[in-house]
Structure 1
Amino acid sequence: MPVSTRLRRPRPAPDAPEASASPGTTGPGEPPADEPSGRLARWRRDRPRAARNLRLTVHVLAAVLVVGALLLPNAGGALRPNRFTRIPAEAVIGAVLLLVLPRRPRTVVAALCGTGIGLLTVLNLLDMGFTEYLGRGFNLVLDWELFDDAHAYVADTTGGTAAAAAAAGLVLAVLLLVVATALATVRLGHLLHRHRDRAGQGALVTATAWIACTALGVQIAGVPVAADRGADTVREQARRVVDTLRDEAAFAKEARSDTFGATPPGQLVPGLRGKDVVLAFIESYGRTAVEDPVASPDVTRTLDARTEALAKAGYRARSGWLTSSTYGGSSWLGHSTALSGLWIDNQQRYRTVTTAGDHLTLTEAFRRTGAWDTVGVMPGVQKAWPEAEWYGLDKVYNAFELGYRGPKFSWSTMPDQYALEAFERLEHGRERDRPLMAEIILTSSHQPWAPLPELVDWEDLGDGSVFHAVHDAGKQPGDIVTDTTASREEYGRSVAYSVESLTRWLERYGTDDTVLVFLGDHQPIARVSSSDASRDVPVSVVAKDPEVLEKISGWNWTEGLTPAKDAPVWRMDAFRDRFLTAYGSTPHPTTG
């Protein structure tokens, strides 16, 4: 009786290497790694050409996303086609690594690499944004808390609902970007493995080309063909972190040294005894406001007209330039630098000096004498502000303590004219036992420069309700934020308004013993001032008493409110010591 037999295919050992499968497959009866089963699989079987085209399109998009992310520069001005015609070293190394790994480790490694690429892309985009607004890259150690400020700015400008939606959209976009780069890298890893022979040859050729281009310095349109942008991003971010950590300790020691730290009260600013000294910062009042052909016409007209009007009222002015420690924003860094004599260009330095230091500020120098009352008028402060004690201010009026009942003008809580009138009513115009030293922050020239306030009759200011009509007739932020020329024009108008409000206050309420010092805190954002703009801001001293200006004659500043182009330029941290010295203060240093 014949015996029938059935040939059986040998079952592979559990630990058989994946490489035993023929190229282009993932094992008997197993669908390709990137091909799902179910309804989509049936669609692919029924429409093979469409499925093949779709698969090819997804592969191409995945490659474009990963390679584009690896080549993405970290500056908006560098976003040009030639930046994406390069060979990224990280892609070559990643391809070789994924080719030699088995399936599971390959998937894990590809997902981790893709996540890393997505995070590096986010860092590059943050660098672009920070450079556009603050003139510097993103700092992993210091800048996270600035997102709260950005959210508050958007809420103040466009409303809480829009700010919440923008924040949610931004978080979602970041998550989608990271997930997309991770999935794209996994897909490319499986694709490479299914075509290992050709992929290996391609990786070898590409690596050879990268080495050759590096050795020969081959360029396309002035940009090297061989690239390692991902590694550049990692190195740059690591350098910033290390520099920040080193700077923290060095700056803490520097802040303990002070040229006037031990000066006796009787030897501080004797040259200004009996004077009311008003020190005003004008938001975003930079060199651009005076020299930019689009922004400056309104400003220069106002400066010239107000110089003439003040001269008729008996005032004279001298003006120069200071180089700010910040750019485009973070105004408090400029304020603290000018008043402390320390270069405070990041949030860590600001925290160090305001919370743990006793470095003498210019306002504290006046208070320490016992000869002045010191006050701050801060319409931009809308929460607790413990820095007041470090600044040496006996009394601070925040946005809610000036009696304003009118509308907000974008970010600015009230028009500068109203803030100055409130200062007159609450402090400057009162009968006093001793003179006044006041720090005033004027905010009407804060971006986005729409809507803008206009001067009204001082007698009509009241509680500010008069500004409702002005606000309603003004432009809205959306009218100008996407238009660079319009932004420059409105920026110039806003600065002109702030300067006119301040100088008209002086003309109206100043006395023979009033000394006004006003300056910008920083330049406006790069979209208005340009990416290569300086960090210079104007500074002016105005007084009736000729001796006040005579004491600074050695500064060689320009006569009037408009500093000449070639007027002296000092770093902003030099102002405190020069001011104290000019008005008779005697140095008594303390050391760290």
Structure 2
Amino acid sequence: MSLFTRPRRPQDTTEGEADQGEPAAPEEGTPPAATPPGWFGWRHRWPRTAHGVTVGITVLAGALVLFALLVPNRVERLEAGAFLRLPAEGILLATLLLVLKARWRRITAVVAGVLLGLLTVLKFMDMGFYQVLARPFDLVLDWILLDDATDFVRESFGRGGQVLAVVGVIVLFVALLALMTLATVRLTGLMTRHRPVAVRTLLVLGVAWITCVTVGVQVGGVPIASKGTADLVGDRVEQVRAGLRDARVFEKEASVDAFAKTPPDQLFTGLRGKDVLFTFIESYGRVAIDDPAMAGPMDTALKEGTRRLEDAGFASRSGWLKSPVTGAGSWLAHSTFLSGLWIKNQQRYRSLTTSDRMTLTNYFRKTGDWRTVGIVPGVRRAWPEGKFFGLDHIYDSRHLGYRGPYFSWTPVPDQFSLEAFERLEHGRKDREPIMAEIILASSHNPWSPIAHMIDWDDLGDGSVFHEIKKEGTDPKEVWKDPENVRTEYRRAIEYSLSCLTEWVERYGDENTVLVFLGDHQPVPTVTAGSTDKDVPVSIVAKDPKVLERVADWNWTDGLKPAADAPRWGMDTFRDRFMTAYGPQGGAIAAPAP
């Protein structure tokens, strides 16, 4: 006999609890209702169909709860084996619901449903963060990134795409909480009405779970007995505690500055009279050099860049830096590099930019011998943090004179940004030495469409890029195939490198000192799941005395760092650089990687 049609016994229903199954037959003598009860009467007209729908809804409710308990929080783990498990949390929750009294059972069922819904939302958010940042969502520190995510959608797909995305997320969130709560309440009612069967089933499942743990039963390398939800919750509790402690830890770290009391005339004595350019290439990570599918073309591009620079009289040295982020979060990497502090989250960034910590750019400004400027084409609105970094003048996307199209996320192609820097600052007559922070954003995700090099004299106001954009690829088509994404990523990096090396070749002189680096590795679609956070860094100069100062860094000759070249934390660069170009010269001891 079916579980759902078995005659009900008195013990099947708890006193005072409403029966959520078939409605009771009307008492004898009761006049028939104008409309039969139960879904406007259709259950009575088509009982077999109604029974099938009831069973189907119950099955769906069970599947939804199991999905919440078993779904992993990473896309690459979404496979059939992940759902062929026994969740300890489900067994314990069902047992708890059975032993509670009716009133508390209903309350617990609702609360459990809401929590399961929130847990599922958290897992979905983790999936997105792992896909972009190669890490889970931080419940304390990452909320501000949701605003940045909506901005990215707007800039990539327009205002309409942003609105649709936000509305879709809100609807999905509300629907998930509601459906998960209804599913939990429905299953609770089912267990209560069929208590003996439920008790026996839970005993069997509990014994099976313990047996699977003891024996170590697995399917496809995945343990049958699961407690992944409990582990996830435990990890998040510890993550929250660590996030709350991190503010105190960071405050202590930020209070130490080896150069805080150094007189201005003792700073950067080895660079006096030089133009010092710190240039970040967006998403230029180690994968671009080491990945077998990219290594050949990238090796050719870096060798060609090295050769062209050498023909122009420049030498270069390269090494590796470990970034605090991967996939995204460029501002965290930039501030780590410039401040000498490990800026791994938004809380640290806010603390840094509201403090009096001196950055590389601040120290150059402190000497009074350099004009400090920023070329930041990715900035489209007010950037109050710019004052913290000690920049005399900031040129964002609105002040570079560009009249061409966006290239996906990128407001200004790199070649135009560098030509604008030449026009606005570097090429001016009778100027003082410049220290510039330059952001090259053409290699920013999604890497489609990409600009290509043209004659520098033809750049004009950038209108020429309208035709170039039409020749580019469609990001919607590119992102259908990971291999196409990787190819476009490599081409974007090659474009940024070409822009930079050609600019040095065209406009550099004996007083040019260029330090350029990647800010972080690209998204996991490109890195194929690698957790490596290394980025290349290079120093380029025509004056041999500049590179002599860093000879004991043991960096590799040329623009391509060797696989075994020194690897430092990005936060150590500031002090190493300031030591090497201070009065004593030389380098400081390398910390453990």
Q: Structure 2-normalised TM-score?
A: 0.92
Cα distance, 1:68–1:585 mapped onto 2, change above 3 Å: farther
Task: Encode CA deviations 1:544-563: one digit per residue, 9 max, x unaligned.
Answer: 01111111111111111111
Cα distance, 1:311–1:168 mapped onto 2, change above 3 Å: same
**Separation (CA, whole Å) in 2 of partners of 1:128 and 1:219:** 24
Match of 1:551 among 549, 555, 566: 549
**Separation (CA, whole Å) in 1 of partners of 2:306 and 2:390:** 31
**Separation (CA, whole Å) in 2 of partners of 1:20 and 1:507:** 83
- The farther-off stretch of 249-258 and 417-426 is 249-258
**Separation (CA, whole Å) in 1 of partners of 2:24 and 2:139:** 45
Aligned residue number for residue 454 of structure 2: 456
Aligned residue number for residue 8 of structure 1: none
Equivalent residues in 2 for 1:332-411, closer than 5 Å: 332-355=331-354, 357-411=355-409
Task: Confirm or deny that 1:193 pairs with 2:192.
Answer: yes
Aligned residue number for residue 496 of structure 1: 494
Cα distance, 1:221–1:360 mapped onto 2, change above 3 Å: same
Could you tell me how far 1:55 is from its partner in structure 2? 1.7
**Separation (CA, whole Å) in 2 of partners of 1:316 and 1:338:** 23
Cα distance, 1:104–1:462 mapped onto 2, change above 3 Å: same
**Separation (CA, whole Å) in 2 of partners of 1:567 and 1:123:** 40
What's the secondary structure of 1:515's corresponding residue?
strand
Task: Confirm or deny that 1:18 pairs with 2:21.
Answer: no
Could you tell me how far 1:351 is from its partner in structure 2? 0.6
Aligned residues between the structures: 566
Cα distance, 1:406–1:21 mapped onto 2, change above 3 Å: closer
- The one-letter code matched in structure 2 to 1:361 is T
Aligned residue number for residue 130 of structure 1: 129
Aligned residue number for residue 445 of structure 1: 443
Q: Is the 8 A contact 1:252 1:353 kept in 2?
A: no
Q: Is the 8 A contact 1:297 1:492 kept in 2?
A: no
**Separation (CA, whole Å) in 2 of partners of 1:563 and 1:274:** 28
Equivalent residues in 2 for 1:12-411, closer than 5 Å: 18=15, 29=26, 38=37, 40=39, 42-355=41-354, 357-411=355-409
**Separation (CA, whole Å) in 1 of partners of 2:166 and 2:583:** 49
Q: Is the 8 A contact 1:445 1:498 kept in 2?
A: yes
Could you tell me how far 1:572 is from its partner in structure 2? 0.7
- The one-letter code matched in structure 1 to 2:538 is S
Cα distance, 1:235–1:37 mapped onto 2, change above 3 Å: farther
Aligned residue number for residue 584 of structure 1: 582
**Separation (CA, whole Å) in 2 of partners of 1:492 and 1:158:** 23
**Separation (CA, whole Å) in 2 of partners of 1:332 and 1:37:** 65
- The one-letter code matched in structure 2 to 1:509 is Y
What's the secondary structure of 1:375's corresponding residue?
strand
Could you tell me how far 1:433 is from its partner in structure 2? 4.2
Aligned residue number for residue 477 of structure 1: 475
**Separation (CA, whole Å) in 1 of partners of 2:459 and 2:37:** 72
Q: Is the 8 A contact 2:284 2:517 kept in 1?
A: yes
Task: Encode CA deviations 1:518-541: one digit per residue, 9 max, x unaligned.
Answer: 000000000111212411100000
Could you tell me how far 1:98 is from its partner in structure 2? 2.4
Could you tell me how far 1:223 is from its partner in structure 2? 2.6
Q: Is the 8 A contact 2:361 2:390 kept in 1?
A: yes
Could you tell me how far 1:37 is from its partner in structure 2? 6.8
Could you tell me how far 1:22 is from its partner in structure 2? 10
- The farther-off stretch of 305-314 and 69-78 is 69-78
Q: Is the 8 A contact 1:74 1:125 kept in 2?
A: yes
Could you tell me how far 1:73 is from its partner in structure 2? 1.6
Q: Is the 8 A contact 1:278 1:516 kept in 2?
A: yes
What's the secondary structure of 1:278's corresponding residue?
strand
What's the secondary structure of 1:420's corresponding residue?
helix
Give structure 2 stretches of 5+ with no counterpart.
1-12, 28-34, 586-593
What's the secondary structure of 2:529's corresponding residue?
coil
Q: Is the 8 A contact 2:353 2:388 kept in 1?
A: yes
What's the secondary structure of 1:377's corresponding residue?
strand
Could you tell me how far 1:194 is from its partner in structure 2? 1.5
- The one-letter code matched in structure 1 to 2:39 is L
Could you tell me how far 1:301 is from its partner in structure 2? 2.1
RMSD: 2.1
Task: Confirm or deny that 1:513 pairs with 2:511.
Answer: yes
Could you tell me how far 1:29 is from its partner in structure 2? 5.0
What's the secondary structure of 2:81's corresponding residue?
helix
Aligned residue number for residue 466 of structure 1: 464
Could you tell me how far 1:39 is from its partner in structure 2? 6.3
Q: Is the 8 A contact 1:322 1:569 kept in 2?
A: yes
Q: Is the 8 A contact 1:92 1:203 kept in 2?
A: yes
Could you tell me how far 1:242 is from its partner in structure 2? 0.5
Could you tell me how far 1:384 is from its partner in structure 2? 1.6
**Separation (CA, whole Å) in 2 of partners of 1:455 and 1:163:** 31
**Separation (CA, whole Å) in 1 of partners of 2:122 and 2:490:** 33
Q: Is the 8 A contact 2:14 2:192 kept in 1?
A: no
Cα distance, 1:373–1:21 mapped onto 2, change above 3 Å: closer
Could you tell me how far 1:457 is from its partner in structure 2? 1.1
Could you tell me how far 1:358 is from its partner in structure 2? 1.9
Task: Encode CA deviations 1:191-236: one digit per residue, 9 max, x unaligned.
Answer: 1111111011111221222233334443333333222222222211
Q: Is the 8 A contact 2:443 2:489 kept in 1?
A: yes
Q: Is the 8 A contact 1:268 1:586 kept in 2?
A: no
Q: Is the 8 A contact 2:16 2:102 kept in 1?
A: no
Could you tell me how far 1:51 is from its partner in structure 2? 2.0
Task: Encode CA deviations 1:89-126: one digit per residue, 9 max, x unaligned.
Answer: 22112212222345554333212211110100111111
Cα distance, 1:161–1:192 mapped onto 2, change above 3 Å: same
- The one-letter code matched in structure 2 to 1:251 is F
Match of 1:568 among 561, 566, 569: 566
**Separation (CA, whole Å) in 2 of partners of 1:94 and 1:206:** 13
**Separation (CA, whole Å) in 2 of partners of 1:204 and 1:395:** 71
Q: Is the 8 A contact 1:25 1:194 kept in 2?
A: no
Give structure 1 stretches of 5+ with no counterpart.
1-15, 31-35, 588-592
Q: Structure 1-normalised TM-score?
A: 0.92
